[in-house]
Amino acid sequence: MAVLDIAKIGHPVLLRRAEPVGDPTTGDIRRLVADMRETLEEARGLGLAAPQVRESLRILLARPVGKRETARQVPPLVLVDPVVEPLGEEMEMGLEGCLSIPSLRGLVPRYRRVRYRAVDEQGEAVEGEAEGLFARILQHEIDHLDGILFLMRMPDLRYLSVEEQLERFLAEVVAPESRK
């Protein structure tokens, strides 16, 4: 196993539509998934998509979590050839970052609830429903499989901040707006 280097914004692989995997039980795919797990742990991320490690394949890892605080203790789900669909029309704004976009955080609208279908590493069908943070992570990661970065989902680029300034951004930019 190995920690893989993460492609950063500007790398063309992040803008490409990734290819379906088909059979996830081959040696190459098993190795890739093992390396993605290790890379996600090392980076302390909430999710990771194969294009972020320069493999243009429809594989994503997502931690099925409700709260950011405990998120990194929850092992990720591995979804191969996933489909993610909204459940209902309700959307909410929430803060996102991306391992491929160092230091930036931005407010992104996402569906509050989604349904997902995929196969797992053993090739078995998996499906489930997600809401809140987990639904957000799934939508963020599946976007990576379609060449979409969270910045491209932001309706208003004023709601973008560097991490070092996050507290001030939330208190002085986001909070006053949400009271309007």
Under DSSP, the state recorded for 173 is I
Q: Which among 3, 2, 8 has a CA at the least distance from the CA of 144?
A: 8
The number of CA neighbours under 13 Å toward the Cβ of 159 is 22
When asked if residue 14 is in the footprint of Ni ion (CB under 5 A), the reply is no
Can you tell me which of 61, 65, 77, 98 binds Ni ion, judged by CB under 5 A?
98
**Distance in Å, CB of 99 to Ni ion, minimum:** 6
Nearest approach, Cβ of residue 57 and Ni ion (Å): 16
- Is 141 known to be catalytic? yes
> Interface with Ni ion by CB under 5 A: which range of 1-9, 10-18, 30-38, 97-105?
97-105
Catalytic entry in 19, 42, 141, 164: 141
Residue of closest CB approach to Ni ion: 98
Per DSSP bridges, beta strands 91-98 and 101-111 are antiparallel
Q: What is the layout of strands, in order, in the sheet containing 160-162? A: 91-98, 101-111, 160-162
CA distance 55 to 113: 28
d(CA 78, CA 50): 11
Residue 98 or 118 having the CB closest to Ni ion: 98
Is residue 36 a contact residue for Ni ion (CB under 5 A)?
no
Q: How far is the CB of 123 from Ni ion (least distance, A)?
A: 26
**Which residues are marked as active site?**
141
Q: Interface with Ni ion by CB under 5 A: which residues? A: 98
